[in-house]
Amino acid sequence: MDNRTPRVDPRVLRTRQLLKDAFVELLQEMDIEKISVNRIAERATINRVTFYLHYRDIPDMLEKMADEMIEDINRILNNASANQIAKEEEDWPMLVNLLEHFAEHAKFYKVVLASRRTPIFTDRMLRLLTELVTSRIERMGDESVLATAGIQKDIAIWYGSSALIGTIVAWLRQDMPYTPVYLAKQFILMRTLS
């Protein structure tokens, strides 16, 4: 029996990409409250009925786009962790791959993460980064620097995930003045100092 996921029609993928691109372009120009299904459909050069074949409404579209964003990022993180070589550099490939993904899709992330207009994306990203930081802190165990310094685990998690997303957002807002590799090195250096 074949357990592979069913293949999605390329036309469906193309239409969803057109809708996503149209939404991102409109969000660069106006507040989200002013964006309508008609405007998205016109910008995507499709008719309104086609929009409703893919999404119930704009909040449904945002929800599905946020789900896709998290799926893409999880795929990148899982690929990086599957290819890890050295224990002391376990976060290095993951961080570089994550930052390269942000750089490759900078237009999208700059609008949805760095603009304050669509909190659903920032909330989902923060939740994902919190899970990553939590996992890393739990792997460190009771013998970690945090435990010996008397730092509460939940405070370290809040700090770590917020610092990570805050730095990524600032990097995007500044038009990525550093390469993903350089920024990842800076993260690793800061982590070793703390």
Check if the beta carbon of residue 94 is closer than 8 Å to that of residue 81. Answer: yes
Residue 191 has pLDDT above 80, yes or no: no
Task: Give the pLDDT score at 149.
Answer: 79
| pLDDT tens digits for range 84-143 | 544 444 567 788 888 999 999 988 888 888 776 678 888 999 999 899 888 888 887 766
Task: Give the pLDDT score at 15.
Answer: 93
Residue reference for tokens 């405070």: 155
pTM metric for this prediction: 0.78
| pLDDT tens digits for range 52-96 | 999 999 999 999 999 999 998 988 888 766 555 444 445 677 888
Cβ neighbours of residue 161 closer than 8 Å, sequence gap 6 or more: 126, 129, 130, 132, 133
Check if the beta carbon of residue 69 is closer than 8 Å to that of residue 154. Answer: no
Q: How far apart are CA 76 and CA 126, in angstroms?
A: 16
Task: Give the pLDDT score at 193.
Answer: 60
